């Protein structure tokens, strides 16, 4: 059986990848690879915008189904804001892009059909400034805006886009879960698809050029692109024949690096943006680093590095380092110490110890302290949700009222942050205020129908309130938000059985179920595309 280097395959399948990690995971080659399309050149036919978006949505559906997308709302919100700044500078609509997070130590970012751009935690951790991270996103956005993806899939007509979507999703997942990914592939003979799916050097240069101009237009320091790509080139020389796959299949040529440096040199120092890394970037970077540490030994080692910073990583802000200690201690189950560290981080900030000067305590610091305070004073109940007592505010003790007050203040200060809204709802549930959380989440769900976590919490509130029809309907809406239409239809059917005596609820559920069926039918029709 032939073996396929996972990193090399992914780098080829993806529209653009940045890899510095030398850890390569082989997976079995598959007969399914033979069914991948022969992709068109830059002058060939293009996928329509609609079909490109559909293909991207299919890949994301499979990718999410494997649990490969990290749903941390704070980091996702940050990279989305950063990415949307780039997108707007490129005169594009943010609604045509979606930035998502992947927990992986490899320094990797990739664009997929339909404007879906994935960012590995390893990339955030390796970026030493906000402009460096922005430069990578600008490069990926450049691939999308220049329709390099649509060109590559221009001759897709002769095969099923759905099969391709499943294959790409499997390759993406294989790095962290080879067993699950192999379920989408039939073992057998195959051949390398590098030449079929890799970008041309012209496309890479075009993405560099467009990305550089976009980075400049967005107000970031273009030196960030020079610095980051320069380190990538240095890594290429260091790794030699064992260089990460991106550097082999999409080489950072001397010509490309020289062109980027030349463009940066043409921008005089007087015109160059003085955009500095925000404290939020430093905190997000620390959180991304902690996400990658999984074993107890790795966490213990990371705790020591936050106590004695590693110069190579460039983390110097004492507030960020203390925040990192809180995150690690929490991951180690040392909740009380984690709470103390989160409070210390805020104290350091208020005393002016942060390298970045600002007056408002950042959300990440406040939310971490709130989570730790809840874990200490309101630990998760062991009883099933439908057996927990439903309480009123009048039944809360003094400490619980203090916690509720802190939650309310945090929600009022950061009204637009989804992570805070969900933290508030979770706090209400931990306090037993299920009627309040139910009403709050129902209102929230009207504006955020694509956020599955809202419906997950809504389902819990309905279960605690002994409302089975609403519980199953919330589960249906959660599945719908994840594009899992068949399970959504099934949950709606169960909800209808419980709601048969409630005409208005039954009519609402029936309407939702018809919506899910239309989406499922449309997906099946698209599955026939090109067959």
Note whether 36 and 11 are same-domain residues. yes
Residue 226: inside a domain: yes
Residue 358 has pLDDT above 50, yes or no: yes
Domain with 298 in it: 278-377
Note whether 9 and 65 are same-domain residues. yes
Write down the residue that tokens 């955020």 correspond to. Answer: 448
More confident residue, 365 or 109: 365
Note whether 316 and 336 are same-domain residues. yes
Residue 391 has pLDDT above 80, yes or no: yes
User: Which of 418, 468, 464 lies closest to 437 in space, CA to CA?
Assistant: 464
Note whether 46 and 107 are same-domain residues. yes
pLDDT of residue 253: 63
CA dihedral angle for residue 229, residue 143, residue 113, residue 46, rounded to 10 degrees: -150
2-11 pLDDT per residue, tens = 333 333 333 3
Task: Please tell me what DSSP assigns to residue 427.
Answer: H
More confident residue, 136 or 148: 136
CB 428 within 8 A of CB 403: no
Distance, CA of 14 to CA of 140 (rounded, Å) = 10
Note whether 330 and 242 are same-domain residues. no
The first and second tokens of residue 341, run together, are: 């560290």
pLDDT band at 28 (very low <50, low <70, confident <90, very high): very low
Q: Which of 49-53, 315-319, 464-468 has the lowest mean pLDDT?
A: 49-53
Note whether 241 and 335 are same-domain residues. no
- Of the candidates 218, 238, 266, which is a domain's last residue? 266
pLDDT band at 237 (very low <50, low <70, confident <90, very high): low
Calculate what percentage of the chain has a pLDDT beyond 90.
55
Q: Where are the extended beta strands (E) located within 193-308? A: none
pLDDT band at 184 (very low <50, low <70, confident <90, very high): very low
Residue 385 has pLDDT above 50, yes or no: yes
More confident residue, 359 or 182: 359
- Beta strand 116-120 with 98-102: parallel, antiparallel or unpaired? parallel
- Mean pLDDT value of segment 368-382: 94
Residue 349: inside a domain: yes
Distance, CA of 252 to CA of 140 (rounded, Å) = 15
What residues contact 334, with CB distance under 8 A and at least 6 apart?
none
CA 184 to chain centre: 23
Note whether 205 and 284 are same-domain residues. no
Residue 133: inside a domain: yes
The SS3 of residue 115 is: coil
The radius of gyration of the chain from alpha carbons, rounded to an integer in Å, stands at: 24
pLDDT band at 176 (very low <50, low <70, confident <90, very high): low
312-323 pLDDT per residue, tens = 577 889 999 999
Note whether 258 and 284 are same-domain residues. no
- Of the candidates 377, 394, 429, which is a domain's last residue? 377
Catalytic annotation, residues: 140, 208
- Mean pLDDT value of segment 153-176: 56
Residue 73 has pLDDT above 50, yes or no: yes
Note whether 309 and 239 are same-domain residues. no
User: Which of 105, 110, 113, 175 lies closest to 136 in space, CA to CA?
Assistant: 110
Distance, CA of 39 to CA of 158 (rounded, Å) = 11
From the number of C-beta atoms within 10 Å of its C-beta (0-12, 13-18, 19+), residue 528 rates as exposed
84-94 pLDDT per residue, tens = 999 999 999 99
The first and second tokens of residue 484, run together, are: 């899992």
Overall number of domains in the chain: 2
Regarding pTM above 0.75, the answer is yes
Distance, CA of 66 to CA of 56 (rounded, Å) = 16
Residue 518: inside a domain: no
Q: What mean pLDDT is reported for the chain?
A: 81
Note whether 324 and 257 are same-domain residues. no
pLDDT of residue 367: 98
Residue 187: inside a domain: yes
Residue 504: inside a domain: no
Distance, CA of 409 to CA of 287 (rounded, Å) = 24
Note whether 212 and 291 are same-domain residues. no
Residue 370: inside a domain: yes
Residue 454: inside a domain: no
The SS3 of residue 187 is: strand
Distance, CA of 379 to CA of 402 (rounded, Å) = 15
- Of the candidates 266, 291, 312, which is a domain's last residue? 266
- Mean pLDDT value of segment 507-515: 97
Note whether 297 and 357 are same-domain residues. yes
**In the chain, what is the straight-line distance between the N-terminal and C-terminal CA atoms, in Å?**
29
The first and second tokens of residue 320, run together, are: 């960020």
The first and second tokens of residue 416, run together, are: 């637009």
């Amino acid at each position: 059986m032939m073996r396929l280097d996972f990193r090399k395959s992914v780098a080829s399948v993806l529209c653009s990848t940045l890899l510095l990690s030398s850890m390569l995971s082989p997976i079995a080659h598959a007969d399914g690879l033979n069914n991948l399309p022969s992709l068109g050149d830059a002058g060939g036919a293009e996928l329509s915008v609609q079909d490109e978006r559909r293909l991207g949505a299919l890949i994301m559906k499979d990718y999410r189904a494997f649990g490969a997308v990290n749903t941390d709302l704070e980091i996702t919100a940050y990279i989305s804001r950063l990415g949307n700044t780039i997108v707007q500078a490129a005169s594009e609509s943010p609604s045509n892009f979606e930035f998502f997070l992947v927990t992986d130590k490899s320094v990797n970012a990739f664009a997929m059909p339909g404007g879906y751009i994935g960012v590995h935690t390893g990339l955030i951790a390796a970026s030493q400034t906000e402009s460096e991270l922005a430069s990578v996103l600008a490069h990926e956005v450049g691939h999308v805006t220049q329709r390099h993806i649509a060109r590559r899939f221009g001759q897709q007509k002769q095969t099923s886009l759905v099969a391709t979507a499943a294959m790409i999703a499997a390759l993406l997942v294989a790095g962290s879960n080879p067993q699950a990914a192999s379920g989408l592939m039939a073992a057998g003979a195959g051949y390398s698809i590098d030449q079929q799916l890799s970008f041309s050097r012209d496309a890479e240069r075009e993405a560099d050029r467009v990305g550089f101009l976009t980075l400049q237009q967005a107000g970031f320091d273009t030196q960030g692109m020079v610095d980051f790509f320069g380190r990538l080139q240095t890594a290429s020389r260091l790794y030699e024949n064992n260089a990460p796959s991106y550097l082999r299949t999409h080489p950072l040529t001397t010509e490309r690096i020289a062109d980027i440096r030349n463009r940066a040199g043409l921008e005089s120092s007087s015109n160059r943006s003085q955009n500095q890394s925000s404290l939020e970037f430093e905190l997000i970077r620390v959180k991304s680093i902690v996400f990658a540490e999984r074993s107890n030994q790795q966490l213990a080692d990371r705790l020591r590095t936050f106590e004695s910073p590693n110069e190579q990583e460039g983390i110097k802000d004492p507030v960020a380092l203390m925040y990192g200690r809180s995150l690690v201690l929490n991951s180690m189950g040392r909740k009380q110490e984690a709470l103390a560290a989160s409070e210390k981080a805020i104290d350091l900030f208020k005393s002016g110890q942060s390298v970045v000067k600002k007056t408002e305590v950042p959300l990440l610091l406040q939310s971490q302290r709130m989570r730790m305070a809840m874990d200490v004073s309101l630990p998760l109940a062991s009883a099933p949700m439908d057996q927990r007592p439903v309480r009123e505010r009048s039944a809360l003790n003094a400490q619980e009222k203090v916690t509720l007050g802190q939650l309310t203040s945090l929600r009022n200060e950061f009204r637009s942050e989804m992570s805070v809204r969900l933290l508030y709802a979770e706090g209400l549930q931990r306090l037993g205020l299920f009627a309040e959380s139910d009403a709050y989440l129902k209102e929230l769900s009207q504006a955020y129908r694509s956020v599955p976590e809202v419906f997950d919490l809504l389902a819990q509130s309905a279960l605690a309130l002994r409302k089975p029809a609403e519980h199953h309907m919330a589960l249906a809406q959660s599945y719908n938000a994840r594009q899992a239409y068949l399970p959504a239809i099934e949950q709606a059917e169960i909800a209808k059985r419980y709601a048969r005596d409630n005409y208005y609820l039954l009519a609402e559920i029936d309407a939702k179920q018809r919506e899910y069926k239309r989406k499922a039918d449309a997906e099946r029709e698209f599955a026939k595309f090109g067959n």
